[in-house]
């Protein structure tokens, strides 16, 4: 081995543990401005600071600094969740998302299919004694590893599941829509309050980075006042026997299933609640899929500030999920807004004598992992969730108004949730921290 190579190896293995950032060429003003740790942090081996492993920013001013390495909690300290219902959503999205969660872990399953539950438990390292049938809430109550339950059953079963979880003393994360009616939703809120447990509704888009950026830009006023909002969520559906096409289990058709994202997305975007709603429903005749529920809904919401939101949803169109905000000084266009992944944001605004279109580069993150970790943080820190039961209750009330407006052909007057006031985020918990 020649002397130059031997010297290079010594520098790599030993020198980087003690060399300062300045010695490695990391002390330039451009890099310091982007916020690297102190010069005592080795360039490539990192160092422990404040309970995290940190590295100095190795990129120059022309590139964005890389994100810090993940800092998951030790498995023994994470909040244990029982997943109630092992349908498509649980198996395709929620359980895999625990692999990206940092503060939550799956510790129990509840299912009406023992074989499926045993196989799933084996796949995720869940002990067989932590598998429960839907009539075994007493057994689940006695499991100290279960701090929260995630209700992922059909909508019509949410009310009974949440009440059982509250009676068992477990915190509750419940899929949307919250229930089949506002009366059921109100009962769920009251039951959790009485039991002293937290109730969070799984509005995953309110935790997703691109949706959050649209909310931030809209509320900042950077591009002027909001005038109009457009939201659409549509897809095709088949298999007439699926539960989403049965009113007793789903509560409705496209509106509560996917149209709810438009309704909640617009409400989360603005700092006010609608004052009136108009709506139309169109359902094809003699289609076995839509004997009990609607195919397509269009609804318009008017807000106190004068903002008009035009929303649409359908079970009969090619997949399309978009959110557009039109302001006095620009427009925000979020493609795939309500999808599980693939969001893309375009911002158009005037720049001098021309119109500029920007595409902010944000880090895509697993929406289910984000909401799981938020619920875990609220339990660990005893905080109110950003999307508590009241958020879901208000949506249930507004969806009932949409159906009423479609039946009558007349506008329906609505307002803020009783007891919450008209103020910004009245139905929501504290704002999310930037991470």
Catalytic residue numbers, as ranges: 176, 261
The shares of helix, strand and coil residues in the chain, as percent rounded to the nearest 5, are: 35, 25, 40
Burial class (CB in 10 A: 0-12, 13-18, 19+), 47: middle
What phi and psi, each to the nearest 5 degrees, are found at residue 371? -70, -35
User: DSSP assignment of 158-206, as one string?
Assistant: HHHHHHHHHHTT-EEEEPSS--SSHHHHHHHHHHHHHHT--EEE--GGG
Does residue 221 contact residue 330 with C-beta atoms inside 8 Å?
no
Torsion of CA 374, 378, 379, 385, to 10 degrees: -90
Nearest to 219 by CA among 307, 315, 119: 307
Q: Which pairs count as long-range contacts for 68-74, CB under 8 Å and 24+ apart, including other chains?
A: 70/102, 71/102, 72/101, 72/102, 72/103, 73/102, 73/103
Max distance between CA atoms of the chain, in angstroms, equals 89
Does residue 203 contact residue 211 with C-beta atoms inside 8 Å?
no
Alpha-carbon distance of 302 to 263, in angstroms, equals 12
Alpha-carbon distance of 257 to 313, in angstroms, equals 9
| The residue to which tokens 């004598």 are assigned | 353
Q: Which residues contact 171 (CB under 8 A, 6 or more apart)?
A: 147, 148, 149, 197, 198, 199, 200, 375, 379
* ∠ CA 31-34-35, rounded to 5°: 100
Chain centroid to Cα 17, Å, comes to: 41
């Amino acid at each position: 081995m020649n002397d130059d190579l031997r010297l290079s190896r010594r520098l790599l293995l030993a020198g980087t543990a003690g060399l300062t950032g300045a010695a490695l060429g990391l002390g330039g003003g451009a890099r310091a401005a982007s916020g690297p740790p102190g010069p005592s942090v080795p360039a490539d081996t990192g160092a422990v600071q404040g309970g995290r492993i940190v590295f100095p920013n190795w990129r120059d001013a022309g590139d964005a600094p890389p994100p810090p390495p993940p800092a998951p909690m030790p498995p023994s300290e994470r909040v244990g969740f029982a997943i109630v219902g092992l349908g498509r959503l649980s198996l395709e999205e929620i359980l895999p998302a625990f692999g990206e969660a940092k503060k939550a872990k799956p510790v129990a399953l509840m299912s009406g299919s023992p074989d499926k539950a045993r196989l799933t438990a084996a796949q995720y390292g869940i002990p067989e004694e932590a598998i429960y049938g839907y009539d075994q809430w007493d057994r689940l109550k006695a499991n100290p590893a279960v701090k929260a339950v995630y209700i992922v059953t059909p909508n019509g079963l949410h009310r009974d599941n949440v009440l059982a979880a509250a009676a068992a003393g477990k915190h509750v994360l419940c899929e949307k829509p919250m229930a089949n009616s506002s009366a059921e939703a109100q009962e769920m809120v009251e039951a959790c309050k009485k039991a002293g447990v937290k109730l969070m509704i799984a509005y995953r888009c309110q935790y997703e980075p691109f949706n959050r950026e649209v909310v931030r830009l809209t509320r900042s006023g950077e591009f002027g006042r909001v005038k109009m909002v457009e939201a659409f969520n549509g897809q095709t559906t088949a298999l007439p026997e699926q539960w989403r096409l049965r009113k007793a289990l789903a509560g409705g058709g496209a509106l509560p299933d996917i149209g709810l994202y438009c309704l909640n997305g617009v409400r989360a975007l603005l700092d006010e609640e609608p004052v009136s709603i108009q709506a139309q429903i169109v359902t094809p005749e003699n289609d076995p899929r839509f004997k009990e529920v609607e195919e397509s809904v269009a609804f318009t919401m008017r807000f106190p500030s004068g903002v008009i939101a035009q929303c649409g949803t359908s079970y009969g169109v090619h997949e399309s999920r978009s959110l557009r905000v039109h302001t006095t000084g620009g427009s925000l266009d979020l493609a795939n807004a309500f999808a599980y992944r693939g969001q893309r944001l375009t911002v158009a605004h005037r720049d001098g004598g021309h119109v500029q279109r920007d595409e902010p580069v944000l880090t895509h993150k697993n929406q289910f992992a984000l909401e799981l970790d938020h619920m875990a943080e609220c339990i660990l820190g005893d905080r109110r969730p950003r999307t508590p039961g009241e958020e879901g209750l208000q949506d249930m009330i507004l969806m009932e108004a949409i159906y009423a407006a479609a039946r009558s052909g007349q506008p329906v007057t609505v307002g803020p949730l009783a007891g919450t006031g008209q103020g910004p985020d009245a139905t929501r918990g504290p704002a999310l921290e930037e991470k």
